[in-house]
Amino acid sequence: MLAILALGACGASPPGSAPDTAASTAAPASMMTTAQAPTMARYDGYGDMRFGMDEASFRAAWKGQLQGQLQGQDSRVCFYLWPKSVKVPADFAFMFEHGEFVRYDVATTKQTAPGGGKVGMSAARIHALYPDVTEQPHKYETGGKYLRVENPDGTGVLVFEVGANGKVSRWRAGVQPQVDYVEGCS
C-alpha cells in the first residue's frame, strides 16, 4: 500500500524537461504491472503527444526543444524530430508522416515500453510480458525477429526488434502502416 501511495505522490515533470528518462510520469494503471517503472511511453503516443497530432500541436504539447533532420526532396512527407538532449537521434526520436505524429523509435535502455518491455530484454521475457505477441523474421538479420504487440483496445502497436542473440536491440510504437516500416521512413 505504501508503495502505491509513494508512486502516486511522485510529481510529473513536463514532457520536454526530461525526455530521455523513463520515469518522468506515471502510466495509467491499465498499462502497468506492479513490477514496472512509470513510463511516458504509450500505445497511442508518448506522454501528452498522441498519434495523429500535427507537428505544431506536438511541439506545443512537448514544451521542450526539438531537433530535426529533413532528408531528400520530399523531406516533409516523412521526417523525425528528437529532443535536444538526445545525443544520438537513433536512440530516441519521433516520426512524422504527412504532417502527423505516427511513431516513435527507441534504442536505449532509458525508455520503458508500455507493458514493461525494454532494450536488452530477452525475447522470452517479452513473450512473458505480452501474452499476444506475434513473431516475424527480421528483414536483415539472420536469426533475428520482430515481436509485434497490438494494444488490446486497438490504438497502437509495439514492435520489438530482436537480434540473433535473442535480445531486444530496439523497439518502436506507432500506428499502421508506419510502425511496420523497417528502415525508418521507408
Give the tens place of pLDDT for each residue, 96-153.
999 899 999 999 999 999 999 999 999 999 999 998 999 999 888 888 999 999 998 8
Amino acid at 62: W
d(CA 66, CA 92): 12
Q: Does any domain span residue 109?
A: yes
Label residue 124 exposed, middle or buried (CB < 10 Å: 0-12, 13-18, 19+).
exposed
Q: Does any domain span residue 11?
A: no
d(CA 163, CA 145): 7
d(CA 168, CA 184): 17
pLDDT in tens, 65-94: 999 865 444 556 899 999 999 999 999 999
Say what the pLDDT of residue 11 is: 33
- DSSP label of 7: H
Cell digits of residue 98:
504527412
Q: Does any domain span residue 88?
A: yes
Q: Does any domain span residue 27?
A: no
pLDDT bin (cut points 50, 70, 90) of residue 47 is very high
d(CA 12, CA 26): 7
pLDDT in tens, 147-179: 999 998 888 999 999 999 999 999 999 999 999
Q: Does any domain span residue 18?
A: no
Q: 107 and 91 in contact (C-beta within 8 Å)?
A: yes
Say how far residue 146 (Cα) sits from the centre of its chain. Answer: 15
User: Domain limits at 108?
Assistant: 35-180
Q: Does any domain span residue 2?
A: no
Say what the pLDDT of residue 186 is: 75
Number of Cβ atoms within 10 Å of the Cβ of 1: 5
Cross-strand bridge partners of residue 136: 146
Label residue 87 exposed, middle or buried (CB < 10 Å: 0-12, 13-18, 19+).
exposed
Q: Does any domain span residue 6?
A: no
Peptide bond into 89 cis (omega under 30): no
Q: Does any domain span residue 43?
A: yes
CATH of the domain at 153: 2.60.460.10
pTM: 0.77
Domain count, the chain: 1
Q: Which helix (H) or strand (E) holds 55?
A: helix 55-62
